């Protein structure tokens, strides 16, 4: 450790230096306010006095060692690159299958599935509320037939698949398992992730169906089922991405995500699960926003906080339970319809921050996503962005290359402290579910989003091409248009499925699902049987709506 007298002397010298800089800047009318989104005033320079206790071996630790600040693997990308997992899904299952195959042929190393809005909220494509939305923001999946088409020709024992689905997550996972079964692939060979993070839907995204506490039951049922049947599957991906997209700061993204994770962990333990039986398969999903260094520090702080929570709060013994594994997506909310080519630059820097922060998986947004779903050309350029970072920049050659930077270490400490302050506040409210029911988390996000927009409108925050440097071309290349006939074709296939299935087996499976829903039994086995009988997403969700009810948001929040 450094001598205390020397530290005190250094602090005095630095204070004088900082005051002289402040004095010199007083008369500068163009002086910028150097403040992060989370409120931290950025200093002119950083030194060891800004880092944790000056004891670098203790503060930084080693990669692959608790508390994993520097990464969860000792050799990180020197051993294996992150999974390049481009989010894809539009129109019909056949069109999305073609996009999957194209991306795999171009070097993508994992699949990520986007579902259309009716699927996300548990309606079949012929439901009146699905009109105009079928296949628009993702692929339409009504029954096992659609899932079979979506995954045709894809080796499910060799490719990992992520599915961004929440309220009907159990149904889509069951479909994936049954398709694999038809391919002769056992559940234990499947690798992938189901998002299954319902709490963030109530505060940031809105694709909820059931009330929070009934939804939590479904989440825990999937976690318990996967612990026994799907040892290589991530049964939940706890998402800060959508919280950030809704307007939160980096600190709020981390705090609210980890508070939700605490609620899931406690619910699983309360249901009788041993923490080390399921925690090693918990995964996270974070946003890569534009403040480059703040994002890197956010990922480092996330690992450190989670490892300590798991060890100290939940008593995990297995070191893998303490490792925060995460997927990253670049920030869709930062993409602009104006001068869309500039989005390529934004995405490249965001992706680089995720890699320098130690992500396990990455999606890079496409240049045209502020205008439409990405074209094949645009999504290829987005994938090539990852490949250039991986193979041409050298940033993957060493672990945590910015570790030891005075600035990065100070930011990591700051984000950790502010995140823990929020977590304590949410704990005092009774946890995430109670904080959501009281509107606390929603209000915090809304306040941050409002402040951000006011700064843009006042030109206190520059957005290139929007409120400054607006002279470039806004002309976009050809945009992807979903064929309007997709909806009709989807409805026709759904009618055919309903006519050709075994009606007695269907009725029996749905009756059994209703019975199980009225008890405390794990619902996954009943849902799997209903899927095998070609019950639709809407029919299964309809049974659960009858038993659980539907969530109605408090408009006073």
pLDDT in tens, 138-187: 999 999 999 999 999 999 999 999 999 999 999 999 999 999 999 999 99
User: Residue 20 pLDDT more than 80?
Assistant: no
As a whole number of angstroms, the distance between CA 158 and CA 153 comes to 12
Cα dihedral angle (356, 362, 368, 373), rounded to 10 degrees?
A: -170
Residue range of the domain that includes 182: 58-72+80-392+429-457
- What average pLDDT score do residues 543-548 get? 98
Query: Do 230 and 190 form a contact (C-beta atoms < 8 A)?
Result: yes
Each residue's pLDDT tens digit, 312-346: 999 999 999 999 999 999 999 999 999 999 999 99
| Any domain includes 547 | no
Query: Do 233 and 196 form a contact (C-beta atoms < 8 A)?
Result: no
Of 22-31, 60-69, 262-271, 515-524, the poorest mean pLDDT is in 22-31
As a whole number of angstroms, the distance between CA 235 and CA 177 comes to 13
User: Residue 362 pLDDT more than 60?
Assistant: yes
Best CA proximity match to 501, nearest among 93, 139, 145, 119: 145
As a whole number of angstroms, the distance between CA 425 and CA 432 comes to 10
| Any domain includes 129 | yes
| Any domain includes 52 | no
Where are the strands (E) in 212-293, listed by range? 233-234, 236-239, 282-288
| Any domain includes 86 | yes
What secondary structure, in 3-state letters, does 514-527 show?
A: HHHHCCCCCCHHHH
Where are the strands (E) in 246-393, listed by range? 282-288, 325-330, 361-363
| Cβ-Cβ contacts under 8 Å for 98 (sequence gap 6 or more) | none
Q: Is 236 helix (H, G, I), strand (E, B) or coil?
A: strand
Confidence of residue 133 (pLDDT cuts 50, 70, 90): very high
Each residue's pLDDT tens digit, 86-112: 988 999 999 999 999 999 999 999 999
CATH number at residue 263: 3.20.20.240
Question: How much is the pLDDT for 53?
Answer: 46
Each residue's pLDDT tens digit, 222-241: 999 999 999 999 999 999 99
Confidence of residue 527 (pLDDT cuts 50, 70, 90): very high
Selected residue with higher pLDDT from 20 and 387? 387
Each residue's pLDDT tens digit, 409-423: 999 999 999 999 999
Each residue's pLDDT tens digit, 468-513: 999 877 776 688 788 888 899 999 999 999 999 999 999 999 999 9
| Any domain includes 106 | yes
How many separate domains does the chain show?
1
Cα 4-6-9 angle, rounded to 5 deg: 110
Question: How much is the pLDDT for 548?
Answer: 97
User: Residue 32 pLDDT more than 80?
Assistant: no
Environment class of 278 (CB within 10 Å of its CB; exposed 0-12, middle 13-18, buried 19+): buried
Question: How much is the pLDDT for 56?
Answer: 41
User: Residue 1 pLDDT more than 50?
Assistant: no
User: Residue 215 pLDDT more than 90?
Assistant: yes
| Any domain includes 123 | yes
* Whole-number average pLDDT of the chain: 91
DSSP-derived letter for residue 468 is B
Q: Is 399 helix (H, G, I), strand (E, B) or coil?
A: coil
Could you please report the per-residue DSSP string of 294-325? HHHHHHHHHHHHHHHIIIIIS---SGGGG--E
| Any domain includes 442 | yes
Give all strands of the β-sheet with 282-288 in edge-to-edge order: 83-84, 361-363, 325-330, 282-288, 236-239
| Any domain includes 483 | no
CA distance readout (Å), 412 to 242, 247, 310: 22, 21, 19
Name the one residue in this structure whose structure tokens are 């989010």.
87
| Cβ-Cβ contacts under 8 Å for 55 (sequence gap 6 or more) | 1
Selected residue with higher pLDDT from 54 and 145? 145
């Amino acid at each position: 450790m450094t001598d205390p007298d020397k530290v005190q002397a250094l602090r005095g010298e630095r204070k004088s230096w900082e005051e002289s800089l402040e004095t010199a800047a007083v008369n500068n009318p163009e002086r910028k306010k150097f403040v992060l989104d989370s409120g931290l005033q950025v200093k002119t320079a950083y030194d060891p006095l800004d880092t944790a206790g000056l004891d670098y071996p203790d503060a930084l630790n080693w990669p692959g060692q608790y508390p994993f600040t520097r990464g969860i693997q000792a050799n990180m990308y020197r051993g294996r690159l992150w999974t390049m997992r481009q989010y894809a899904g539009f129109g019909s299952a056949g069109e999305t299958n073609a996009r999957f195959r194209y991306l795999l042929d171009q070097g993508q190393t994992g699949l990520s599935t986007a579902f259309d809005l009716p699927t996300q909220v548990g309606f079949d494509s012929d439901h009146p509320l699905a009109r105009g939305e079928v296949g628009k923001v993702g692929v339409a999946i009504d029954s096992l037939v659609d899932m079979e088409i979506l995954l045709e020709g894809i080796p499910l024992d060799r490719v990992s698949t992520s599915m961004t689905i929440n309220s009907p997550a159990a149904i889509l996972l069951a479909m994936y398992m049954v398709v694999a079964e038809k391919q002769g692939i056992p559940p234990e060979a499947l690798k992938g992730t189901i998002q299954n993070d319902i709490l963030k839907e109530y505060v940031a995204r809105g694709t909820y169906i059931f009330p929070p506490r009934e939804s939590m039951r479904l989440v825990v049922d999937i976690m318990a089922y996967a612990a026994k049947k799907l040892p290589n599957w991530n049964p939940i991906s706890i998402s800060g991405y959508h919280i950030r997209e809704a307007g939160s700061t980096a600190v709020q993204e981390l705090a609210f995500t980890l508070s939700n994770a605490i609620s899931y962990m406690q619910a699983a333990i309360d249901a009788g699960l041993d923490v080390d039986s399921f925690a090693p398969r918990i995964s996270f999903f974070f946003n890569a926003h534009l403040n480059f260094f703040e994002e890197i520090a956010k990922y480092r702080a996330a690992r450190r906080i989670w490892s300590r929570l798991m060890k100290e709060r939940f008593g995990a013994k297995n070191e893998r339970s303490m490792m925060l594994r995460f997927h990253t997506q670049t920030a869709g909310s930062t993409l602009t319809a104006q001068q869309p080519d500039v989005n390529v630059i934004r995405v490249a820097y965001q992706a680089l921050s995720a890699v320098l922060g130690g992500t396990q998986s990455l999606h890079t947004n496409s240049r045209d996503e502020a205008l439409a779903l990405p074209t094949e050309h645009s999504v290829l350029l987005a994938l090539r962005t990852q490949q250039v970072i991986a193979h041409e920049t050298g940033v993957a050659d060493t672990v945590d290359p910015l570790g030891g930077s005075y600035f990065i270490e100070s930011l990591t400490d700051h984000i950790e402290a502010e995140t823990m302050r929020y977590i304590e506040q949410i704990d005092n409210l009774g946890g995430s579910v109670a904080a959501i029911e009281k509107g606390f988390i929603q209000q915090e996000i809304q306040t941050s989003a409002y402040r951000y927009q006011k700064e843009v409108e006042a030109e206190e925050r520059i957005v290139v091409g929007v409120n400054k440097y607006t002279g470039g071309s806004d002309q976009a290349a050809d945009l992807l248009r979903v064929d309007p006939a997709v909806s009709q074709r989807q409805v026709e296939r759904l009618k055919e499925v309903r006519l050709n299935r075994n009606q007695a087996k269907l009725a029996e499976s749905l009756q059994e699902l209703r019975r199980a829903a009225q008890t405390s039994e794990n619902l996954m086995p009943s849902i799997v049987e209903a899927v095998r009988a070609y019950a639709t997403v809407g029919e299964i969700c309809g049974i659960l709506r009858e038993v659980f009810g539907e969530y109605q948001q408090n408009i006073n929040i």
